[in-house]
Amino acid sequence: MDVSDKNKILFHQHSWGSSYGYPLFIYDGNRIQMQFDRLSKALSGHNHEIYYACKANSNLYILQLLARKGARLDVVSVNEGKLGEMAGFSTEHIHFTPNGVHLDECREAIDRGYSISLDHIPSIRHLAKERPGLPLCIRINPAVQAGGHEKISVGHKASKFGLAIDQMKEIAKLQESGAIRVIGMHIHTGSDISDVQAIKKGAQVLLEQAKPFSESIEYLDFGGGFKVSYYDEDQSTDIEGIGHWLTNKIKAFEDFCGHSVRLVVEPGKFLVSEAGYFLAEVTQIKQTYNTQFVHLNTGFNHFIRPMYYEANHKIEVWGKGTKSHLKKYNIVGYLCETDTFASDRYLPEVEVGDILVFHNAGAYSYSMASQYNQRLRPAEILMLDGKAILIREREVFDDLLRKQIPLD
């Protein structure tokens, strides 16, 4: 998607490099708001709650923006929850979805007032012994293969996430004994799901498994993973279609239960990915054998998605003049190992000093950045209503030394 109308002039005419340097992350706050409104409208046929999966982008300003829109917060660590509290989320609107964490972190989350999903029976037994009648959301593994890459497919049988269906009888026994109270059930089949049939298949499993707990169920969490398009011909999830389908299904479940049940989703990438842009400067153009390389002043230390997830991001060239001639390039970084952003990519002829703009860089980009090769992490900018707000400063050399013990 293009930059929102409120920020188009700012995005294309601001002297970003002289103000903040490159590389640089820029987020379109109005686009994030539009995505939230779009999803909320798609689910408007039923009482629903949108929990932002903040692992996608946990900058305080992004969190605050979504808190003010009425979002709730899905966190995978207590530290994410603490950031959420700082950004304005009330603790009862924060949901902790851990996997394999120490029980002490679960205890801290509960003590802070977060709701919690669990998918490990021994942990559930321990916590229930300490806190009889503990209200819980149970995460199940729906045994559904879905997602844009094997690393983000998390609902299949071999996944570490969720309880197997045949383990639910143990949860039923704990409920019957009064040890726990199952108030929610949860699935998440993966990320980047364009096939609505996969979403529907997982949802059907959730609805069926929730029936034995219908008296205590207060909400059903259908996860997230809705796909956004990365390039012009790419597909995205039919969010309006799946929203209509989910609302109808949960209404039918309510008829079965005899009481109201909230519809919960927990998108991350869907809300912030298309709002993000990653800008990097061309430092060298290098010809070797039959390949022409465009080198950038960055690498997977800043923008790991193309290397780790094989993500195909649209690339725009900001050059010194209009160039209509297309050439084939490999776009690479400056790290001490292979860090290829794109291979055999046709772009308008590139020159040293040009800026390459990677679209769809708002999710799992800065949040996965590092100081590998002792490179400094870039600044982050939020565009909101035609204004640029610095929301994270560029690192300086002293940031590399923080927490290191000084030499004697």
Q: What residues act catalytically?
A: 336
Terminal Cα-to-Cα distance of the chain (whole angstroms): 54
**321-345 as b/e: b if 16+ CB within 10 A:** eeeeeeeebbbbbbbeeebebbeeb
Helix (H, G, I), strand (E, B) or coil at 207: helix
Report strand pairing: 355-359 vs 219-221: unpaired
How far, in Å, CA of 25 to CA of 84, rounded? 21
How far, in Å, CA of 361 to CA of 377, rounded? 15
Query: What would the DSSP string read from start to end of 217-246?
Result: --EEE----B---SSTT-----HHHHHHHH
**224-233 as b/e: b if 16+ CB within 10 A:** bbbbbbbeee
> Which residues does residue 343 pair with via DSSP β-bridges, in sequence order?
none
Query: What would the DSSP string read from start to end of 146-166?
Result: -SSSGGGB-SSTT-SSSB-GG
How far, in Å, CA of 373 to CA of 80, rounded? 26
Helix (H, G, I), strand (E, B) or coil at 333: coil
Q: Do residues 383 and 7 touch, judged by C-beta distance below 8 A?
A: yes
The residues near 369 (Cβ < 8 Å, ≥ 6 apart) are 301, 302, 303, 304, 377, 378
DSSP type of residue 98 = -
Q: Do residues 89 and 69 touch, judged by C-beta distance below 8 A?
A: no
Q: How far is CA 146 from the centre of its chain?
A: 16
**156-170 as b/e: b if 16+ CB within 10 A:** beebebbbeeebbee
